[in-house]
Amino acid sequence: MKFAEKIIRVFEHKPIDKVIFQPRIRYWYKSNKVRTLKFRNYQKYAQWVPEEYRGKKITEIYNELNASIRYHLEAFPYLVLLPRFKLGSRIFVLPRRLKNGSWHLKYMTPKGSVSEIHHEGRLLEHSVKNIEDLEIIKYIVEHTVYKCSQILYNLAEKAMDKYGLPCEYYFRSPYMRCVLNFLGFERTIIWLRKYPREMEDFMQFLEEWDEKQYDTVIAKSPFKWLNFGENIDHNLSPPPYFEKYLLEYYENRVRKLHNANKIAFIHIDGSCKNLLPYLSEMSFDGYEALTPKPQGDVTVEEIRKSIGDTGKILLDVLPATLFMPQFSEERLIKETNTILEELAPNLILGISDELCRGDGRRLKIVANIVEKFEN
């Protein structure tokens, strides 16, 4: 049975032979220069990469672990869902490399200009700095559309044949786009009090825009499962905000995906204890990256109890911190077994949130535990 079939069977609550091990190791692979370690002497990275992995392609490591790949983009270069500006939008992006290696991006539009700064995949400076900037962002979003390429999906599906199902995450909810993409957390919270009309209008605009994208692109895409890449944390979306800005939005969007016969799951990492009561109520088929202690703020038992008998599938759960030398291999083995015993078979085991500087030798330890575990 191939991983693609196993994934579907997990969500359909049908038996499979072994729990799926689906660690996201791209950041670990890239940041530790695994591909070139065999040919160049990077001592500071070598401590994290076992000898047998050095110089190998990322797919070769997945093969050795008998593991599945969750997002095809982390191993194969097929961007199936692609945002682009409408023809004639007169939006221009001017990139500039800064001395520290960061990128300054300036967006020029007929409504004015905004800029943001990125560094190694992180957004250091948000584009919205003044209330007037919301109109510029609305113009940019209004003139942005998503396209889904069936040809690229077919290529991704073929490349993923041994590893799983093509999967992508896309635009966030309006509230989380404000927090993570446009304004930042502090400015979002302050402006919801200081400029309530402007902020509510902006989020309503974002919701109407993305509903069109769902109806015309997302729900009609060939993807069988899709992730709401929200990065939810109860410090960023505490219960009052979660209920006001997110719950109804999620229900409406998940309904659209379910009507299109798609699996929908959401990324909830960081602190989540105050959001546990909502997990059994929401319509998501699964939750990605719910992280127990010592990395998160909940226990495996609390996660299990919050899900109850709803049949929700948990993806990841294994704390990335357990791959650091501060924690013994015995602790990793114990926690892995606990997660398997408490959560299988409604589990696709991975590493929450993602592995970066962890000890790559421990990947094989987990893979061996999964191989011996009776599902």
- Provide the 3-class DSSP secondary structure of residue 9: helix
- The span from the CA of 88 to the CA of 69, in Å, is 38
Query: What pLDDT is attached to residue 314?
Result: 98
What is the structure's pLDDT at 63? Answer: 98
Q: Which pLDDT does position 105 carry in this prediction?
A: 97
Give phi and psi for 72, each to the nearest 5: -60, -30
Is a pLDDT exceeding 90 seen at residue 193? yes
pLDDT higher at 213 or 43: 213
Residue 64 has pLDDT above 80, yes or no: yes
Average pLDDT on 220-234 reads: 96
Write down the pLDDT at residue 47. Answer: 85
Q: Which residues contact 320 (CB under 8 A, 6 or more apart)?
A: 295, 351, 352, 353, 354, 355, 356, 358
Q: Which residues are registered as beta bridge partners of 115? A: 106
pLDDT of residue 22: 98
Inform me whether the pLDDT recorded for 44 exceeds 80.
no
pLDDT band at 120 (very low <50, low <70, confident <90, very high): confident
Residue extents of the structural domains in the chain = 3-88+134-372, 89-133
The DSSP bridge pattern shows strands 286-288 and 263-268 to be parallel
3-88+134-372: CATH topology is TIM Barrel (3.20.20)
Does 121 or 338 have the greater pLDDT score? 338
- Which tens digits make up the pLDDT trace of 94-116? 999 999 999 999 999 999 999 99
Is the pLDDT assigned to residue 202 strictly greater than 70? yes
Instruction: Please give the share of the chain, as a percent, with pLDDT higher than 70.
Output: 99
pLDDT single digits (tens) 339-373: 999 999 999 999 997 888 899 999 999 999 999 99
Mean pLDDT taken over the chain = 95
At what angle are helices 329-343 and 300-307 packed, to 10 degrees?
Answer: 10
Secondary element (H or E) of residue 84: strand 81-85
Query: Would you say residue 41 has pLDDT above 70?
Result: no
Question: Over 80: is that where the pLDDT of 42 sits?
Answer: no
Which residue did the predictor score with more confidence, 182 or 121? 182
Residue 243 pLDDT > 90: yes
